[in-house]
Amino acid sequence: MPKIRHAISKMENQRISQVVRLGMEDPEVIPLWFGESDLVTPKFIREAAYEALNAGHTFYVNRRGLLPLRQEIQNYLSNLYPIDLDLDRITVTASGMTSIMIAAEFLVNNGDNVVMVSPIWPNIFYVIETMGGECRHVRLDEVDGEWTLDMDKLFDACDERTKAIFVATPGNPTGWMMSRQEQRDLLAFCRERNIWVIADEVYHRIVYEEDISPSFLEIAEEEDPLFVIQSFSKSWAMTGWRLGWLVHPKSIADRVGDLSAINNTGATSFVQHAGVSAIQQGESFIHDMVERCRKGREITYDYFSTMDRVSLSRTPAAFYAFFRVDGLEDDLGFAKELLSTAKVGLAPGSAFGPGNEGYLRLCFAHDTQNLSVALERLGEVL
């Protein structure tokens, strides 16, 4: 076979996928490995897609997204945050992941680096590596039951080849949120150094002590070096629909559209119609989703707090428990073992970047009865 790119040939098989492949077809396994709730997408969203299909919305559409959906996103963000966002800064994409890919395609050449706050969802650093870039992980510190970021350490990781700083806030898997002051400091640093900020804010509504998480959109100017990643997957339980959006400087709107077209010719037409309904009618569902996650968080935290071998910081956002097991070194092997012994599917901590060996991630956005059964099974092993 002719050679393929070195960046692809050297890529490690994704560790979460290694676990999933072993247990996805086993009906006895309680799957808590993915970042999704067990709730089916709300009926009003499904009906909107069905109606759009029956109305014949099956053709190519504007590569930057249907105008009604972009307008709904504009109104949605303006209602959440005190901002006046230009419509030309919004591009609808076929998933938050596509938005991340577009940002990377804009910025990363061979030999460039992207500094990222870690632990972090592995697809992020896989994207940078497939572009030929270097990932520089700056790991959060776990202090007195909270995850914190050393801003000086973050800035010190940057050099003349740094193209972007990637920050997921709220973060996956920790639920850590960047404060507004930290966002101001980061944006000021990047303005001065001509470094981009790529901000993944897809968990902006799954927040427990506040109504929403702080957003870079609240402090950024129109032409700041900023990409903000968003998705319908989490707040509206639309993981399988593959629909997201990207907020970017107005001056590069046409280029974003070009890359959207190159990646997949834009988001699916009838799914975009469902996205309009999600925003228009989805506020009560989002409230219910947050309360479901809040109950799952409390059940999980209360259960693990009784176990001496388990260390778990209380998450302020997102829907994960990222916990450490004392004495555990091979977290991937242990996650595989849990499938056969406990019939529970978890994600190994080492999947989320260096320094996370001995951790496991559990998604608690699930039915409380199933979650309780899963915790009991895990407890017997732990």
Verify that 126 and 146 share a domain, yes or no.
Answer: yes
Rounded Cα distance, 286 and 198, in Å = 25
Verify that 23 and 55 share a domain, yes or no.
Answer: no
Where is the domain boundary, 222, 249, 281?
281
> Is residue 10 included in any domain, yes or no?
yes
Average pLDDT across the chain, whole number: 96
Verify that 96 and 245 share a domain, yes or no.
Answer: yes
Domain count, the chain: 2
> Is residue 1 included in any domain, yes or no?
no
pLDDT of residue 315: 94
**Count of beta carbons in the 10 Å neighbourhood of residue 181:** 11
Rounded Cα distance, 291 and 332, in Å = 31
Verify that 27 and 96 share a domain, yes or no.
Answer: no
Q: Encode pLDDT of 134-144 as tens digits.
A: 999 999 999 98
Question: Which CATH number is 11's domain given?
Answer: 3.90.1150.10
| Band of pLDDT at residue 13, cut at 50, 70 and 90 | confident
Verify that 209 and 226 share a domain, yes or no.
Answer: yes
Where is the domain boundary, 281, 300, 333?
281
Q: Encode pLDDT of 94-114 as tens digits.
A: 999 999 999 999 999 999 999
Percent of the chain with pLDDT over 90: 95
**Count of beta carbons in the 10 Å neighbourhood of residue 32:** 26
Verify that 119 and 257 share a domain, yes or no.
Answer: yes
Verify that 121 and 18 share a domain, yes or no.
Answer: no
Which structure tokens are listed for 172? Answer: 């996956």
pTM of the model: 0.96
Verify that 64 and 177 share a domain, yes or no.
Answer: yes
Is the model's pLDDT at 1 over the cut of 80?
A: no
Q: Rounded to whole angstroms, what are the CA distances from 235 to 31, 41, 204, 312, 318?
A: 19, 10, 8, 24, 10
Where is the domain boundary, 226, 257, 281?
281
| Segments forming the whole domain that contains residue 376 | 6-41+284-381
Sign of the C-alpha dihedral computed for residues 59, 273, 239 and 371 taken in this order: negative
Q: What is the mean pLDDT of residues 41-63?
A: 98
Is the model's pLDDT at 9 over the cut of 90?
A: no
Is the model's pLDDT at 344 over the cut of 90?
A: yes
Verify that 213 and 72 share a domain, yes or no.
Answer: yes
DSSP H/E element including 97: helix 96-107
Rounded Cα distance, 84 and 66, in Å = 20
Verify that 232 and 309 share a domain, yes or no.
Answer: no
- Listed as own residue / partner, the contacts of 79-87 with beta carbons closer than 8 Å and 24 or more positions apart are 80/204, 80/212, 80/215, 81/212, 81/215, 81/217, 81/218, 82/218, 83/217, 83/218, 85/217, 85/247, 86/222, 86/250
Q: Encode pLDDT of 260-316 as tens digits.
A: 999 999 999 999 999 999 999 999 999 999 999 999 999 999 999 999 999 999 899
- Which residues make Cβ contacts (< 8 Å) with residue 100, sequence separation at least 6? 123, 124, 127, 198, 200, 229
pLDDT of residue 12: 85
Verify that 167 and 24 share a domain, yes or no.
Answer: no
Rounded Cα distance, 309 and 298, in Å = 19
| Band of pLDDT at residue 8, cut at 50, 70 and 90 | confident
Is the model's pLDDT at 228 over the cut of 80?
A: yes
Verify that 17 and 27 share a domain, yes or no.
Answer: yes
pLDDT of residue 331: 97
Question: Which CATH number is 133's domain given?
Answer: 3.40.640.10
Q: Rounded to whole angstroms, what are the CA distances from 16 to 65, 129, 325?
A: 32, 18, 18
Q: What's 244's DSSP letter? A: E
